[in-house]
Structures are given as structure tokens and as C-alpha cells.
Structure 1
Amino acid sequence: MKNILFINTGGTISSSGEQGGGLTPTQSAEHIVAAVPELKDICTIEAMTLMSVDSTNIQPEEWVTIAQTVHEHLPHYDGIVIAHGTDTMAYTASALSFMLGALDKPVVITGSQVSVLAEHSDSRINIKDAFRTAATALSGVFVVFNGKIINGARASKVRTKSYNAFESINHPYIGYLEEDTIVYNEIPESIRPTGHVYNDHYSPNVFLIKLIPGMQPDIFDAVKALGYKGIIVEGFGMGGVPFKEINLIDKIEELVKSGISIVVTTQCLYEGGDLTIYEVGQKVLEKGVIPCYDMTTEALTTKMMWVLGQTTTPAEVERMMATNYVDEITIPQ
């Protein structure tokens, strides 16, 4: 029987209204495990509460704390399950995917839309499914939610209340958890380059700008003045950036020349961007921005933070952003 470590970090799954003022995490890892007695038939479990935090309050520093804990303990277990709030779960899953490096065991993140204390909660099935996944031969970081196994760097929360809160964006689900079995998809093997080892360095100096019609170019001056080293621009459609009545492209070029790395992506959730198709994409691509194709916002943000934690040299940032570390990006051939 597999030996799995359970790490509780808080979130809705461990919340109660005991303290008033809205739901807040209060339940320990042991309480959550005790609520799912079927786990004893799946694996042996050791439980620890690392933190009790609403995931809205999870910051990059907590990603490092979680990554360090996983890195320290994973050699002694067959897998790890992490309970986490849903609001920033996809950010944490993506950050861990990059920080932990190439893994030979599963690290599974789950949570719930309803507290484990509630009678009709999705928490118990999600926890059970997470442990079932952690007891497999899978390797890497995964989000398990509502009967689906998702690559950690492809998960995104797309619903606020429904139990099917998470989807796999621009990537097949790794598998589906049925009552007595796990059904896996046949997917391309992840590309994990030599040298992708544990590294929890990061830079918080990343800013995300979502373009709207009428946005003025001086927004880029303000971001530069605040000291950001990386900027993610969510353009229109395929990633288009306006350059006529309002010209944002010249300002972007100015920042690129000053040594700031700028990534241009699409605001659309599915199918990714392509800056080579339209003039509004080609013009900004010519200014030295970095295309990111079909990465999720969560993966793109955490990857850029992680990359800038290793280097601020623009050419190296561009190389690393274009490297497929954990199957987080599909690069056209």
C-alpha cells in the first residue's frame, strides 16, 4: 500500500464559520482525513497542516514554503496530496510545476467548493480522488477536481460556485476518475529538458495588463516607474495591440529597449494567440515582445515570475519563456 503525505494549506475545504465574519479556514489536516474514512483502503497517510489560509491570501512566498515542504518530504513518500483553496489553486499548481522541477512521483492539489463540514460537499469525493491519483505511477504536479486529473500548469478556475470549477485549458485532461478505475487519455509526452531541477527563486516584479479600447499609452510609463521587470499584455483576439488612433505599440517598443521583458498573449481562454496572422500582431511582434501561444494566464504569470527569478537578461528570459518545461505551452512547429 502506498504511503502518501497529506499537506493542508487551508481554503474552503477546511473552512467553517466559527469565528464569524464569513468562512475562514479552521480545520486541521487530521480533521479532513477523518471525514473521508474510505482513504484507509487506498493508502497509508501522514497528515500535516502547513498553513491555514484562504487562498485569496496566498502569495508567492507561500508558493516557496509549499515547494520547499514538498521538496523536503517527497523522497520519503510515494506521493503528496495538498489541500488548497480554489481561488488561486491554479496559480499555486503552476508555480509548483516550475519550482519543483522534473518529478518522478505525483504531487496532487485539490480542494472543494463547499466545506468538508457541510453535509452535501464536494470535498470528500475530491479528497478521495486526489489520494487515488497520488497512489498511481503518474509523475508531476496535477490538479484533481470533480473527477478530472489536470496538468498543474494547464488548470484554470472557470466557475465560482459549481462543482466543475476547473478545466484543462488547451490541453487534454490527463484522465478521469470513475467509481472503480482511472481512465487515462493518450497525450503527448511532456517535454522536460535536461537541467530542469528544483529551483524556488522567483521575482514578484511581474505586471499583467488587460487591454481595453481607449487605454492610454502612459499606463506603460506608470508600470515602468513602479519597477516591474516583466509585463504581460493581454491583447485582443490573437493578441492584437492597437497602433492607430491610440498607439500602444511604440510605448511597448520603448520599454523593450529599456530592458523590460514583455509578453503578449490573448484575452481569449481557449485556442491561444498567434501574433503572425494580423497586422496588429505582426507590428508588436517586430518590437521584440515574446509570444506565449496557448499558455494559461496562471501558467504565464507564474512562469514569468520564476524565469525572472533566474535571470533578467532579455534574451535569456525569451529563451526560457519559449522552453516547454512541464507541457505548459504548445509551440507551433
Structure 2
Amino acid sequence: MKKILFLTTGGTIASSESEEGLVPALTSEELIGYLGHHQQYAKIYCEDLLRLDSSNMQPEEWLLIAKRIYEVVPEYDGIVLTHGTDTMAYTASALSFMLENLPIPVIVTGSQLPLQHPLSDGVDNIRCAFHAAMQDALTGVYVCFNRQLILGTRAVKVRTMHLNAFESVNVPPVGLVSARGMTLQQPLLIHPRGKFRLNETLCEQVFLLKLTPGINPDIFDMLLQMNYKGVVIEAFGAGGMHFKRRDLIQKLEMMVEKGISVVACSQCLYENSDFSIYQTGQKVLQKGVIQGLDMTSEAALTKLMWALGKSQDPKVVKALFETNLVNEITL
């Protein structure tokens, strides 16, 4: 029988009503109580790590979660991690990079409705997550939601209220649940390439900027003054940004010259950016900006934090971004 750790951090799934709205309150043991006889398929061990609304999940919490997973990996066949939905994609992506060559599956899940609600999607999500955590073929970090299994670096929350809150962006879901059970897409699975290790150094001085028409280029001066070491830019379309009247490209050149790593991706949720198509994009590439290609913004941000934690040499960071580590990018 598989040994699975049920690690809880709070979120909607564990919330109860209070005078100030929903507040995480249920323990891991209480959450498990909703699964009933489904516990018989694995030996489940419960642990309450955090009790937070996911809006309060920050790099410090990512590190706490990653460290705990690293400590217990030798003891378990899989881990189910409950988490609030609002920042779940950031946490799943960060863990994907921090837990290098993870030898077991870590399945992140949650719900749109509290588990105490009679119509909650939480029970179904947890059951599917446990089933995924017991699969021999799975290693690495995944998000399990609404009967889909999604790579941790490809999951994006796209709906605020619908139970189908997450989508797998630019690659199909790794797994789907149907009347045949859980079907896995083998070519998309993550496979360890070396020794399991914890990358516990993240550079928190990374900024995500969404461009808008007419944005003031002086914002980059402010980022320098605030000691940011990296910037992820969501550019227009396939890779555009303005340089007439308000010259963003000149400012990007300044950033690169000062040793700041700049990653540019698209504001569009689907398909890849390609800065070689238009004049504006080619100017950006000439200044040393790194292409994010088809990465999600969440993956680009957390990968840059992880890469800068390894080295602040822009050449090293660029080389890391040009390497597909956990199927986060299509090269």
C-alpha cells in the first residue's frame, strides 16, 4: 500500500465562515474525514504546515513548503498539497524549480468552494489528487483540479468563480479523468535527470510588468532605484513594445547594461511570443533581452527568481532560460 503525505496550507478548501468572511480553519484530519472509504487505497499521513489564505503565500512560504517536502521525500511515495487557488500557479511553478529532480509526485490541489459547502468541488479534487499521487509513472510537481492533471509550470487560474478554474496553457493536460479512470499523456511527464536537491535560494527582487500603451519609461528607473535584479515584461502580442515618443527599448538597454536580467513574454495567454517578427521585437532582442517564448507569466517570474538565486550573471541566467527543465518552455 502506498504511503501518501497529506500536507495542508489553508486556502478556500479549508475555510469556514467568520464575521470577516471565509477564513482557513479546518485541519488536515478534518479534511480527510470528508473522503470516507476512499482512504483504504493508500496509507495517508496528515500534517498541517500552514493555515493561510493563498493571497498571503509569498516566497518565504514557498521556501517553507519546499524544505518540508525535501525533508520527507524519502519517507513517502507521493505528496498531496492543499493550497488556495489564487496563487496556486505561482507556488506550483516555484516548487517545480526549487525541488530539482523530484523523485515522487507532488500534487497541488484545492477548491473553489469550501469543503464544508454541500456543493464543494474539494472532495473530488482531493480524491483525484490522491489517485495521481499513487501513480508510479509520475514524478515532479502537478496541479490537480476539476479532473485534470496539469504540469506545475503550465497551470494558470483563468476563472474566479467557475469550478473549472485552471487551464493547462500551451500544452495539453498531463492527465484527464474519465470513465476509463485517469489517463496520462506519457510524452508530457517530467523525469528526473540527476540527484534530487533543494534549490533554496530565490531572488525576491524580481518584478512582473504588464505593458500598457503610453506607459512611462521612467518606471524602469524606479525599478533600478528599488534594487530589482530581474524584470519579466508582458509585451504586446507576439512581442511588441513602443519606442516612439516614449522609448521603452532605450530603458531596457540601460537595464541590461547595468546587469539586470530582463525576460520578455506575451500578454496573450496562448501560443508563444516571437520577438524576431517585428522591428520593435528585433530591437528588444538586440539589447540582450531574454525571450520567454510560450512560458506562462507565473513560470517566467518564478524561473527568473530561481535562476537569479543561482547566479546574477546575465549570461548564466540566459543559458538557464534557454534550457527546458520541467517542460515549462517549448524551445
TM-score, normalisation: structure 1:
0.96
Counting only pairs closer than 5 Å after superposition, residues 29-48 of structure 1 correspond to structure 2 as 29-48=28-47
Q: Report how far residue 194 of structure 1 moved.
A: 4.8
Q: Could you say which residue in structure 1 is the equivalent of 2:26?
A: 27
8 Å Cα contact 2:209/2:233 also seen in 1 = yes
Change (3 A) 1:179 1:24: farther
Amino acid in the other structure paired with 1:205: Q
Deviations 1:264-313 (A, max 9, x none): 11100000201111111001110000101000111111111111111111
8 Å Cα contact 1:275/1:281 also seen in 2 = yes
Residues 1:319 and 2:315 are matched in the alignment = no
Amino acid in the other structure paired with 2:141: V
Deviations 1:78-99 (A, max 9, x none): 1000000000000000000000
8 Å Cα contact 2:139/2:192 also seen in 1 = no
Amino acid in the other structure paired with 1:305: M
Q: Could you say which residue in structure 1 is the equivalent of 2:173?
A: 173
* Secondary structure of 1:9's aligned partner: strand
Q: Report how far residue 196 of structure 1 moved.
A: 7.2
Counting only pairs closer than 5 Å after superposition, residues 145-164 of structure 1 correspond to structure 2 as 145-164=145-164
Q: Report how far residue 191 of structure 1 moved.
A: 7.2
Q: Which moved more, 1:259-268 or 1:177-186?
A: 177-186
Q: Could you say which residue in structure 2 is the equivalent of 1:263?
A: 263
Counting only pairs closer than 5 Å after superposition, residues 187-206 of structure 1 correspond to structure 2 as 187-188=187-188, 190=190, 194=194, 197-206=197-206
Q: Could you say which residue in structure 2 is the equivalent of 1:85?
A: 84
> Across the two proteins, how many residue pairs are aligned to each other?
330
Change (3 A) 1:191 1:239: farther
Amino acid in the other structure paired with 2:319: R
Deviations 1:74-130 (A, max 9, x none): 110110000000000000000000001112211100000000101110000000000
8 Å Cα contact 1:172/1:187 also seen in 2 = no
Tell me the distance in 1 between the aligned counterparts of 2:170 and 2:15. Answer: 32
8 Å Cα contact 1:82/1:110 also seen in 2 = yes
Tell me the distance in 1 between the aligned counterparts of 2:194 and 2:233. Answer: 30
8 Å Cα contact 1:56/1:87 also seen in 2 = yes
Q: Report how far residue 197 of structure 1 moved.
A: 3.2
Q: Which moved more, 1:248-257 or 1:317-326?
A: 317-326
Change (3 A) 1:71 1:161: same
* Secondary structure of 2:214's aligned partner: coil
* Secondary structure of 2:149's aligned partner: strand
8 Å Cα contact 1:196/1:325 also seen in 2 = no
TM-score, normalisation: structure 2:
0.97
8 Å Cα contact 1:38/1:128 also seen in 2 = no
8 Å Cα contact 1:90/1:152 also seen in 2 = yes
Tell me the distance in 2 between the aligned counterparts of 1:190 and 1:88. Answer: 22
Name the structure where strand makes up a greater proportion of residues.
Answer: 2
Q: Could you say which residue in structure 2 is the equivalent of 1:52?
A: 51
Q: Could you say which residue in structure 1 is the equivalent of 2:280?
A: 280
Q: Report how far residue 42 of structure 1 moved.
A: 2.2
Q: Could you say which residue in structure 1 is the equivalent of 2:63?
A: 64
* Secondary structure of 1:64's aligned partner: helix
| Structure 1 segments unaligned to the other structure (5+ residues) | none
8 Å Cα contact 2:149/2:176 also seen in 1 = yes
Name the Cα RMSD after superposition: 1.4
Amino acid in the other structure paired with 1:131: F
8 Å Cα contact 1:192/1:326 also seen in 2 = no
Change (3 A) 1:273 1:27: same
8 Å Cα contact 1:192/1:324 also seen in 2 = no
8 Å Cα contact 1:142/1:151 also seen in 2 = yes
Structure 1 runs of 4+ aligned residues shifted over 4 Å read 188-196
* Secondary structure of 1:85's aligned partner: coil
Amino acid in the other structure paired with 1:31: E
Change (3 A) 1:130 1:190: closer
Q: Report how far residue 185 of structure 1 moved.
A: 2.3
Deviations 1:20-64 (A, max 9, x none): 201010000000000111332321100010010000000100000
Tell me the distance in 2 between the aligned counterparts of 1:116 and 1:33. Answer: 10
| Structure 2 segments unaligned to the other structure (5+ residues) | none
8 Å Cα contact 2:204/2:305 also seen in 1 = yes
